[in-house]
Amino acid sequence: MRLELPPEPVYFVNRDDERERAVRAVTEWRSRARPLVLSLSGPVGLGKTELAGLLARTLIESRSFPEGVLSVDLDDLRVDGVLDPGDVLSQLLTSLDVAPDQVQAPYAARRRQYWNRTSEATLVLLLDNARYASEVVPLLPASGDSVVIVTSHGPLHDLEAGAAVDLALPPLEERAAAELLELIARDHRLSADPVTARAVVRLCDGLPAALHVAGRWVRAHRLRPLSRILADLRAELDEKGVSGVEHIWDTAYADLSRPAALLYRLLPHHPGETFTLHSATALSGLGPDACEDALEELDRAGLLDLRLLSLTEAGQLRLPGPQRGHALRRSRRDAAEGEVAEAQVRLLRWFVRQAQLADRFAAGRRLTVVDLFDPVPGAPDVPLEDPATVADAAVRAERAERAARWLAEERHVLFGCSRLAHGRGMDTEVVALSEPVWTHALDHPHQSEVIELFRRTVDSAVRHGGNAGWLVRTRCQLARPLWEAGELDEAETQLDAALSACRLLEDSERDRKLAASAVEHRGMLKGARGEWSAALADFTASRDLHRAIPNPYGVLLQTYRMGEANAKAGDLEAAHALLREAYAGFVAENRERLIGRSGFTLAGVLHRLGRTTEARELYEQSLARADRRRSGFDRARVHDALAELDTAEGNPADAEEHRTAARALRRRNGLV
C-alpha cells in the first residue's frame, strides 16, 4: 500500500464537523466512473493540509482504499507561479509504478495513460495548494471508487456541483483556539493568568499557524510573565508576521492585479475591524464594478474570505488579525505617498453621509447641527430607503427598522471613524457622526464607547470654536449618557456650559430649537436627581419656546416630558391627559421610538389608575416596538413592568417569566 503522507500533526483540535461531512459523503458516493472530490478551502494558516492528511488516514483506516494515498503539493511543481499538469501526471504515474522512461511524452497520451492506470483504482489522491479548478480536473482518476482531497487558499468555483463537496474551513472558535494553545505550550501560566491567555488567543484570531507561533513563544520563554510574552509576541507578529505563512501571503500579493493590490493595502486602514462591499468601494476609490472584481480576486488568492458576507445583514467582512498585519506591512512598503490619507478622507466623508441618512430614516427628520453631506463620487450610498416616501405604515416601519439595524451593526466602525476624523482634525465630520450615534444610543444606553465619542465631539466643537450651535448640541449630547452613568455633577457642568453657549446663538430657527433643547436637557437632569417639580418647570418653558418658533414636534416632545414629570410627581390625572396627547401625536407623526416610550409611560399611569387592561395592551405594543428596534434597554424595562402587572393581578408564574426575560436582556446587553 502506498502512503505518501507525512506523519500526523502532533496537535490538532476541532474540525469534527468537516471530518464527519467528509466521511458521510464518501460513504454515500455512488458513481462508478468519476471520483468524489473533497474540497478544503480557506485562507493560509487554517490547517487545511493537516486536515487533508487526517482525512486521508481516516479513509485508509476504513480499509475501503487498499491502494493507499498518492499525494502532490502542486506548489512544488510550479515554475514562476505556473503549473504544468503534465508534470504532475508524470509524478503520479511514477507513483503508480510506471517507469520514468515509459511515461508518454505527448500530454494527451500521458492523460490517457493516467486514465488507464486509474480506471479500476481504489485510492485516495491528495492535491495540496491548488489555485484553480482547471489544475485539478486533468488529475482526477478515472474511477468512482477513488476519492480526491483538494486544498486551496480560495474557493474552486469551477468544480462541478454534485461531484465536489465544499469543506470551507473557518477560523477556530475561541474555545478551540485556547485548547490548541494549551496543547502546544503546556504551561501553567496560561491557567494562572486566564485574562492574558485569552488576549494571546485573540491576538492569533483563530489561525492555527499563529497559535503554533504563540505556543512556541510561551515554551521558549519560561521565566517571562505571560503579559510580557503577549507584548513581545504582538510586536513580533506586527513586524515579521507568522512564520511559515508570511511568504505565502507575499507570493499571493505579488500575483495580484494593481486594483486588488491597492485594495489589499488599504483595507487595514479601514476604521473598525469590519468592512462591507460598499465601504470598500468608498475606501478604494475604484468604483463599484472594479471593487467587486478586486474583492473576488482577493478571495481567489486566499487573502479574503467572502463566505462571511452571508453572516450579517450588512454583509460585513474582515481580515483576521495576523493577515491584517500582513496587509499593513505591505501598505508600509508599497503605498504611494498620500495614498492612505486620501482613501481615509474619502471613506470618512462617505460614512458620515451614510450615517446621516440612516439616522434620518430611523428617527425621522429632527434637529441636527450639520447638514447632509454630498454623495462621494464613485461610491454609491448603502441601499437604505426613506420611510417618508411611502404611505404604507408597515413598509415605513420596516424601512425605519432596517436603518436602525444598520446603525447598530456599523456602530463600532462609526466609533472608529470618529476617532480617525478627530485625529485628522476633521471637526465637522466628528460633530456630524455624533448625531446618528445619538440616535443609536437612545435605544442602547450605558455603552462606554458612547461617552468616549461624545467627549471627543465636545473637544472638536471647542477646537473649532466658530460654531455656537455645535457647543450647545455636543455638550447636551454628552450630558445625557453621563447622568445615565451616574455622573450627575459632570453632566451638570456640561449643561451649564451648553446654556452659557446659548447666549452666543443667533435668531435662526435651528438656533432657537437648540436653546429649547438645552432647557429640556436641564429638566431631564433634574428628573434624574428626582427633582420632578423643577423638571416640570423646565419642560414647560421648553414647550413654550418650541411653540414660539413654531416647532410642532418639539411641542409634542415636551408634552411627553411634562406628562412623565407629572406622573413622577404623583399628579396622575394631569399625566394621563398630557401623555395621551403626546402618544396620539407621535402616532400621527410615525415617530417609532417615541410611540413606544410614550406608550410605555402612559401604560404605567393607566396601571396606577387601575385601568390594567388598557395598560397591558400598551405595554405589549411597546414591547413589540422595542423588539423591532432591538433595544435591549426598552425591552427589559417593559418586561419588568409586565411582571409588576402580573404580580398585581395574581399571575406569579407569568410575572417570573417576564423577570427572567428582563434579567437575560440586561446580561446580554451589558446593562447589569
Find out whether 403 and 361 touch, Cβ atoms under 8 Å: yes
Give rounded-to-5 percent helix, strand, coil for the chain. 65, 5, 25
pLDDT band with cut points at 50, 70 and 90 for residue 671: low
> Which range among 234-243, 293-302, 321-330, 510-519 has the greatest average pLDDT?
510-519
Q: Is residue 368, in this structure, part of any structural domain at all? A: no
Q: Is residue 376, in this structure, part of any structural domain at all? A: no
CATH number of residue 278's parent domain: 1.10.10
Is 262 in the same domain as 240?
Answer: no
User: What integer pLDDT is reported at residue 160 of this predicted model?
Assistant: 65
User: What integer pLDDT is reported at residue 271 of this predicted model?
Assistant: 95
The closest of 370, 332, 374 to 353, measured between CA atoms, is 374
Main-chain phi, psi angles of 82, to 5 degrees: -110, 135
Is the pLDDT score of 372 beyond 70? yes
Please give the Cα distance from 386 to 401 (Å, whole number): 11
Is 620 in the same domain as 600?
Answer: yes
Q: Is residue 82, in this structure, part of any structural domain at all? A: yes
**Number of domain units in the chain:** 4
Is the pLDDT score of 191 beyond 80? yes
Is 253 in the same domain as 202?
Answer: no
pLDDT band with cut points at 50, 70 and 90 for residue 311: low
Q: What is the average per-residue pLDDT within 58-76?
A: 89
Q: Which of 244, 262, 284 is the last residue of a domain?
A: 244
pLDDT band with cut points at 50, 70 and 90 for residue 285: very high
Is the pLDDT score of 161 beyond 70? no
Q: What is the average per-residue pLDDT within 56-73?
A: 89
Please give the Cα distance from 114 to 29 (Å, whole number): 22
Q: What is the average per-residue pLDDT within 574-584?
A: 97
Is 294 in the same domain as 426?
Answer: no
Is 86 in the same domain as 192?
Answer: no
Is 195 in the same domain as 145?
Answer: no
User: What integer pLDDT is reported at residue 633 of this predicted model?
Assistant: 86
Q: Is residue 358, in this structure, part of any structural domain at all? A: no
Q: Which of 168, 196, 229 is the last residue of a domain?
A: 168
Is 321 in the same domain as 191?
Answer: no
Is 261 in the same domain as 235?
Answer: no
User: What integer pLDDT is reported at residue 163 of this predicted model?
Assistant: 66
Each residue of 374-419: pLDDT tens digit? 999 999 999 999 999 999 988 998 999 899 999 989 999 999 999 9
Is 215 in the same domain as 253?
Answer: no
Each residue of 428-474: pLDDT tens digit? 999 999 999 998 888 777 677 899 999 999 999 999 999 999 999 99
Q: Is residue 360, in this structure, part of any structural domain at all? A: no
Find out whether 67 and 1 touch, Cβ atoms under 8 Å: yes
Is 183 in the same domain as 304?
Answer: no
Q: Which residues contact 86 (CB under 8 A, 6 or more apart)?
A: 107, 110
Lowest pLDDT segment from 59-73, 331-345, 600-614: 59-73
User: What integer pLDDT is reported at residue 157 of this predicted model?
Assistant: 73
CATH number of residue 637's parent domain: 1.25.40.10
Is 458 in the same domain as 553?
Answer: yes
Q: Is residue 377, in this structure, part of any structural domain at all? A: no
Q: Is residue 351, in this structure, part of any structural domain at all? A: no
Please give the Cα distance from 593 to 561 (Å, whole number): 14
Q: Which of 244, 261, 296 is the last residue of a domain?
A: 244
| Helices (H) then strands (E): counts for the chain | 30, 8
CATH number of residue 122's parent domain: 3.40.50.300
Each residue of 241-272: pLDDT tens digit? 888 788 889 989 999 999 999 999 999 999 98
Each residue of 81-101: pLDDT tens digit? 889 999 999 999 999 999 999
Each residue of 110-152: pLDDT tens digit? 999 999 999 989 999 999 999 888 899 999 999 999 999 999 9
Q: Is residue 379, in this structure, part of any structural domain at all? A: no
The average confidence (pLDDT) of the chain is 92
- The boundaries of the domain holding residue 214 are 174-244
Is 230 in the same domain as 252?
Answer: no
Find out whether 629 and 592 touch, Cβ atoms under 8 Å: yes
User: What integer pLDDT is reported at residue 672 of this predicted model?
Assistant: 63
Q: Could you tell me which residues are beta bridge partners of residue 126?
A: 71, 149
Rounded to two decimals, what is the model's pTM? 0.82
Is the pLDDT score of 107 beyond 80? yes
